[in-house]
Amino acid sequence: MRIGEGVSLDMTLPPVPPLDSEAVTAARARQKALTKPPGSLGRLEELSIQLAAITGKTPLSLDRKAVIVMAADHGVAAEGVSAYPAEVTPQMVLNFARGGAAINVLARQAGARVVVVDIGVAANFDPATPIRHHKIAPGTQNMARGPAMTRALAEAAITVGLEVVNAEVAKGLDLVATGDMGIGNTTASAAITAALTGQPVATVTGRGTGVDDVGLARKISIIERALAVNKPDSNDPLDVLCKVGGLEIGGLVGVVIGGAANKVPVVIDGFISGAAALVAARLAPEVKPYLIAAHQSVEIGHRVILEQLGLRPLLDLDLRLGEGTGAALAFHLVEAAARILDEMATFAEAGVSDKA
């Protein structure tokens, strides 16, 4: 795999295969033959061709879907960057495990399984809790005072993401989405976005859990301080991740790369998932065509990320929850695109006259 310029990794990333050109040709030909004016289903047609290119399959089957929710705490939460206390992270993990969170509801509707991963929550869970127990540290350090984590921890987080998605592929996986939980993670995501894109902190930092104007100003100031203290190298995405990122963001980097390596379409959720996708694409540019942007988050930095990745979101519903909720909603459109290609009759099959 081609690694981004200036990046040195002790770990080995799995190779991401090229898109299947024969499947693209077959999908395009079938789209032109379906009983509709060419292009009349707009982006659903483009999406179906992308799915065929990724999977190498026509017909497509997307029955086996999963949302992988990475959970971790952030030391920077101590600076008051969130409207909610850090205790909410483990409380919400338990809510996920009981099936009571928004992502559980939307995933059930979409026929997707929810895979909750404790990669760095600053609390201990009963081993019987129905989550994946992969804690590599009890959260990150306070990035406003020094690096959020070591380079080795960042690589370990990516490795967890790779292992989790590989385990899901072994069970059967046709479509995967990224989700997150972690008080303080919009702060880390804004710092990553500013560091990798060169945009001013104020233009990529939103209100997260709903901080007021004073809280937003404090959040921007904390991120600016973190960047000044740590001086992350914009040419080295792993350096950015370890200095101002989060363990769950690192885990999602692994999910993105691992999904692409297994020829599974990756539906990225909002701002945190977008930051992870940005890091993944800088580490392994080959993942970009495997990405599907679920929605446009209210978080202002998300727009910058999508522009950097060259992605157009499927939905714009003023969402800012995270958890993978926007991705679960987008599953319906992704599956609709696949069904159109697979199930719609051609002019010849239906006995309908094509255009002159």
The letter for the amino acid at 195 is A
Residues in the chain: 356
Q: 127 preceded by cis ω (within 30°)?
A: no
Beta bridge partners of 115: 68
Helix (H, G, I), strand (E, B) or coil at 315: strand
Structure tokens at 337: 């695109």
Would residue 323 show up in a list of annotated catalytic residues for this protein? yes
User: 265, 255, 328, 335: which is closest to 295 by C-alpha?
Assistant: 328
Question: Nearest 5°: CA angle at 159, between 270 and 93?
Answer: 50
Strand pairing of 65-72 and 175-181? parallel
Helix (H, G, I), strand (E, B) or coil at 295: strand
Please state, in angstroms and rounded to a whole number, the distance separating the CA atoms of residues 248 and 160. 10
Residue tagged 């993942």 (tokens)? 287
Q: 59 preceded by cis ω (within 30°)?
A: yes
The letter for the amino acid at 237 is P
Compute CA 53 distance to the chain's CA centroid, rounded to the nearest angstrom: 20
Helix (H, G, I), strand (E, B) or coil at 112: strand
Task: Check if the beta carbon of residue 302 is closer than 8 Å to that of residue 192.
Answer: no
Please enumerate in sequence order all residues whose Cβ is within 8 A of that of 318, keeping only pairs 6 or more positions apart, or say none.
298
Helix (H, G, I), strand (E, B) or coil at 111: coil
Task: Check if the beta carbon of residue 187 is closer than 8 Å to that of residue 223.
Answer: yes
Catalytic, out of 79, 155, 168, 323: 323
User: 33, 111, 54: which is closest to 341 by C-alpha?
Assistant: 33
Mind telling me the catalytic residues?
323
